[in-house]
């Protein structure tokens, strides 16, 4: 676990300083700085500096650097949350041991955040971030609660994992282990996944919309149906769902991927659901980014989620 620090939080300061002109870097507090006197709607932010799952899948490594990069990109965004509200930074989980141990540590931290009645935001990391995210939600709500995972991704992540798990087996791993999880995948690439993976998705009961099926009416209808099947809902955004023109800095760039406004709409529809408790953003790869485009887009979309979640307390 890395020490909590504000080294990545810096930016413009508008004078005279009032609540109405604050930016993220002026609002965020490291966890140890916060004294709890009364309940205030709060976002708990945790980074997962890990791309071991990507490495195992032989993808482009570099996502371990994303939590710091996304924080820097968030810093200058205006804080337009309802008053009162708080943003806590719990630092980073570092992948210093095995992937599996690191995922368990992330799960413990997500559980801790949720236990304090905060909404959890996880800055990944490769798509293996999702498993640690899930572990924390499951521990918080118990074995019998139905968890819904909204996966905004071009890939199902249902690959086999006979030898070891990877970033591309994470959803299969969750569904194999937990009969009380349901999944809705948005933005699936019609020619990114093999026939076998589409068949596996059908066998596991995964609801999905392909990247060329995202009409607003159908999205809203399927989202409403999905939320009725689960008690709590978690959202995972894999940035390689976006077209390479908008998100070049990912492990596996997407051809004919989604546009940013489409992903923004999915997130806005999803965060209006009152049972959403957490969100993770994965697969930002600063090593391969161009002019910080992917980092900035990830920060913008994460901001959309945080503003939405703070409205549902």
Say which CATH number the domain at 176 has. Answer: 3.40.800.10
Residue with the larger pLDDT of the pair 185 and 30: 185
Residues paired with 89 in a beta bridge = 30, 45
Is the residue at 14 inside a domain? Answer: no
Cα gap 66→143, rounded to integer Å: 32
Both structure tokens of 165: 């798990």
- Rounded to an integer, what is the distance from CA 185 to the centroid of its chain? 14
Enclosing domain of residue 252: 19-310
Lowest mean per-residue pLDDT among 1-10, 69-78, 244-253: 1-10
Cα gap 74→78, rounded to integer Å: 9
Is the residue at 213 inside a domain? Answer: yes
Cα gap 7→237, rounded to integer Å: 25
- pLDDT, residue 211, reads 93
Percent of the chain with pLDDT over 90: 88
State yes or no: pLDDT of 2 exceeds 60: no
Name the residue among 59, 132, 43, 56 with its Cα closest to residue 94.
Answer: 132
pLDDT tens figures, 13-26: 999 988 899 999 99
Across 5-9, average pLDDT:
83
Is the residue at 8 inside a domain? Answer: no
Is the residue at 235 inside a domain? Answer: yes
Both structure tokens of 8: 């990545």
99-115 and 129-141 helices, crossing angle to 10° = 40
- pLDDT, residue 32, reads 63
Cα gap 276→207, rounded to integer Å: 18
- pLDDT, residue 37, reads 61
DSSP per residue over 248-287, as a string? Answer: -SSSSPBTT-B-HHHHHHHHHHHHTSTTEEEEEEE---GG
Residues paired with 46 in a beta bridge = 122
Is the residue at 10 inside a domain? Answer: no
- pLDDT, residue 38, reads 73
Tally of domains in the chain: 1
Percent of the chain with pLDDT over 70: 96
Cα gap 30→91, rounded to integer Å: 8
Is the residue at 153 inside a domain? Answer: yes
Four-CA torsion 48, 54, 55, 60, nearest 10 degrees: -110
Across 280-291, average pLDDT:
97
Rounded mean pLDDT of the chain?
94
State yes or no: pLDDT of 260 exceeds 80: yes
Name the residue among 190, 224, 222 with its Cα closest to residue 207.
Answer: 222
Is the residue at 6 inside a domain? Answer: no
pLDDT tens figures, 197-240: 999 999 999 999 999 998 777 899 999 999 999 999 999 999 99
What ranges in 116-233 are assigned the alpha helix state H? 129-141, 170-177, 195-203, 216-227
pLDDT confidence tier of residue 249, bands split at 50, 70 and 90: very high
Judge whether 120 and 46 are in contact, CB under 8 Å. Answer: yes
pLDDT tens figures, 145-163: 999 999 999 999 999 998 8
Is the residue at 100 inside a domain? Answer: yes
- pLDDT, residue 47, reads 98
Show the CA angle centred on residue 97, arms to residues 93 and 99, nearest 5°: 75
pLDDT tens figures, 95-145: 999 999 999 999 999 999 999 999 999 999 999 999 999 999 999 999 999
Cα gap 114→220, rounded to integer Å: 27
């Amino acid at each position: 676990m890395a020490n909590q620090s504000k080294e990545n939080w810096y930016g413009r300061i508008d004078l005279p300083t009032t609540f109405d002109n604050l930016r993220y870097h002026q609002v965020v507090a490291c966890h140890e700085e916060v004294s709890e006197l009364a309940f205030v709607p709060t976002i708990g932010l945790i980074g997962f500096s890990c791309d071991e799952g990507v490495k195992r899948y032989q993808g482009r490594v570099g996502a371990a650097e994303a939590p710091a990069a996304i924080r820097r990109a968030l810093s200058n965004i205006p804080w337009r949350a309802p008053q009162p509200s708080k943003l806590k930074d719990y630092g980073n989980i570092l992948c210093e041991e095995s992937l599996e141990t690191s995922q368990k540590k992330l799960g413990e931290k997500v559980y801790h955040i949720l236990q304090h009645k905060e909404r959890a935001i996880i800055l990944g990391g490769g798509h293996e971030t999702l498993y640690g995210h899930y572990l924390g939600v499951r521990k918080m709500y118990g074995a019998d609660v139905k968890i819904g995972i909204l996966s905004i991704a071009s890939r199902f992540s249902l690959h086999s994992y006979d030898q070891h798990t990877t970033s591309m087996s994470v959803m299969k791993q969750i569904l194999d282990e937990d009969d009380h999880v349901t999944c809705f995948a948005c933005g699936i690439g019609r020619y990114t996944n093999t026939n076998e993976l589409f068949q596996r998705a059908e066998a596991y009961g995964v609801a999905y919309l392909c990247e060329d099926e995202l009409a607003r009416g159908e999205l809203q209808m399927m989202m409403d149906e999905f939320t009725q099947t689960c008690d709590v809902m978690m959202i995972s955004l894999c940035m390689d769902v976006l077209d390479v023109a908008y998100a070049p800095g990912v492990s596996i760039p997407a051809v004919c991927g989604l546009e940013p406004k489409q992903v923004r709409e999915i997130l806005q529809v999803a965060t209006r659901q009152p049972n959403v408790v957490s969100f993770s953003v994965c697969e930002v790869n600063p090593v391969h980014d161009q002019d910080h485009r992917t980092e900035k887009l990830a920060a913008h979309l994460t901001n959309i989620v945080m503003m939405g979640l703070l409205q549902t307390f």
